[in-house]
Amino acid sequence: MNRIIIPLNAFEMIGCQHAMIQRIYEQQVHGVEIRRELMKKVDQEINLIAKELKKYPLFTVYSAPIELWKENGELNKQELTFVLEEALSLGAQWVKVSLGFYQPQSPIGDLQQLLQAFPALRLFVENDQTSYGGNVASLHAFFDNAYEVPVSMTFDIGNWLYVKEQPEEAIKKLGSFVEYIHIKHVIKSSGKLVTTAISNDSNEMWKDILKGFSYSIFKALEFPIDEPEQVPSFISLVQEAEQEEVQ
């Protein structure tokens, strides 16, 4: 089964995200990831995107650049509630945020109670490019303590490099919590890390990382793509890597 998700930050957006929905659907993908950070007028754009999504049977992830836990370790309840409500308006199934400043004393019960009001949504926490939100130990502590909460992990392949964490170690510690992978290729250019499109180069790290997960796991192609019509060729690259794993 094709479980490829296309995040809309993969494209240089011209106009609102709703204008890309049909073109992405036509590429035979499983779903789309709507990005809140691309919205200038959130309420207006959510309505436009929601109307467009109703036309096509696309699995929908809503990604919002908010942190789950505040600097004092408390739940970021107000912002998270707004985002969950927006996700319902979109008709999304999953919501993706960052960890934030999780601490051992952070009230997991508050998160569990809040999510009970949104049973139609599944919460995902992604390793981001911050030292605290992309930290393997902190993420493991959170997921280990949140075993009764409907929350899973988004494993961003490239973000580990920005925080100098080892992806292989992250798989060992966090693999059992992962249900969604963001695929990308990251290179160093002029002393900086840069995300680029994947290729058939056997040395690219994303291929080895995929071997640590089930081929049926949901995957997002989160790297620069010039046009939606290029998506099938990238899907083929991922499928070829999966077939190599089976062999």
pLDDT tens string, the chain, 247 residues long: the values are 579 999 999 998 756 899 999 999 999 999 999 999 999 999 999 999 999 999 999 999 999 999 999 999 999 999 999 999 999 999 999 999 999 999 999 999 999 999 999 999 999 999 999 999 999 999 999 999 999 999 999 999 999 999 999 999 999 999 999 999 999 999 988 889 999 999 988 789 999 999 999 989 999 999 999 999 999 999 999 999 888 755 5
The sign one gets for the Cα dihedral 239, 10, 183, 149 is: negative
Domains of the chain: 4-246 (3.20.20.150)
Angle, alpha carbons 129-131-135 (nearest 5°): 90
Residue 242: φ, ψ to 5°: -65, -40
Model pTM?
A: 0.95
